[in-house]
């Protein structure tokens, strides 16, 4: 499975834990991290899905788009 490279900055203890767990399972640290991140995806809970559309009142409307000139100036950090 081909993927895209992503860089995470982790403290030394977390890095060592990933390496140790990966070594115990006989896989690379990248494969271990990928599997752990992929398994952390959770669907919306049923209680949250039950709330969808349950509010009364007027339907929500998308606001009109503001012109770019109304935006505040940005500075690069």
In a domain, 14, yes or no: yes
Confidence band for 51, pLDDT divided at 50, 70 and 90? confident
User: What is the tally of helices (H) and strands (E) in the chain?
Assistant: 3, 0
Is 66 within the bounds of a domain? Answer: no
Q: Give the pLDDT of residue 73.
A: 82
Select, from the ranges 24-28, 47-51, 68-72, the one with the highest average predicted confidence (pLDDT). Answer: 24-28
Report the predicted TM-score, pTM, of the whole model to 2 decimal places: 0.48
Mean per-residue pLDDT over the chain, rounded: 85
Asked if residue 18 belongs to a domain, the reply is yes
The range of the structural domain enclosing residue 32 comes to: 9-41
77 in any annotated domain: no
In a domain, 29, yes or no: yes
If one counts the domains in the chain, the total is 1
Q: How confident is the model at residue 40 (pLDDT cuts 50, 70, 90)?
A: confident
| Signed CA dihedral, 70, 71, 72, 73: sign only | negative
């Amino acid at each position: 499975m081909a993927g895209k490279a992503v860089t995470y900055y982790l403290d030394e203890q977390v890095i060592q834990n990933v390496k140790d767990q990966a070594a115990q399972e006989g896989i690379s640290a990248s494969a271990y991290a990928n599997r752990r991140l992929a398994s952390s995806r959770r669907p919306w809970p049923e209680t949250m899905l039950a709330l969808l559309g349950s509010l009364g009142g007027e339907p929500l409307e998308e606001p009109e788009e503001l012109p770019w000139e109304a935006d505040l100036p940005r500075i690069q950090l």
